[in-house]
């Protein structure tokens, strides 16, 4: 619950959000609703690692 972002919103972002690839393994999951949630991480093989979760504009 850090940064005031509920875990259910993070899960919705990963399931229903827009995926933006950058670099070799980098990925951003972006979900725009009342608040824009951005999850930044990487995909290697079958594993997704999320580094940071932030609230965008």
Place of tokens 């932030």: 54
- Structurally, the chain folds into a number of domains equal to 1
Q: Could you read off the pLDDT of 30-52 as tens digits, one per residue?
A: 999 888 999 999 999 999 999 99
Q: Going by C-beta distance under 8 Å and a sequence separation of 6 or more, which residues neighbour residue 45?
A: none
pLDDT at 34 (0 to 100) = 87
Residue 15: give the domain boundaries: 2-56
In the structure, what pLDDT confidence band is assigned to residue 1 with cuts at 50, 70 and 90?
Answer: low
Instruction: State pTM to two decimals.
Output: 0.84
Average pLDDT on 9-22 reads: 94
In the structure, what pLDDT confidence band is assigned to residue 2 with cuts at 50, 70 and 90?
Answer: low
């Amino acid at each position: 619950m850090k940064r005031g972002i509920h875990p259910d919103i993070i899960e919705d972002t990963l399931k229903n959000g827009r995926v933006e690839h950058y670099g070799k393994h980098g990925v951003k999951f972006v979900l725009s609703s009342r608040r824009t949630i951005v999850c930044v991480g990487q995909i290697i093989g079958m594993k997704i690692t999320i580094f940071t979760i932030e609230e965008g504009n």
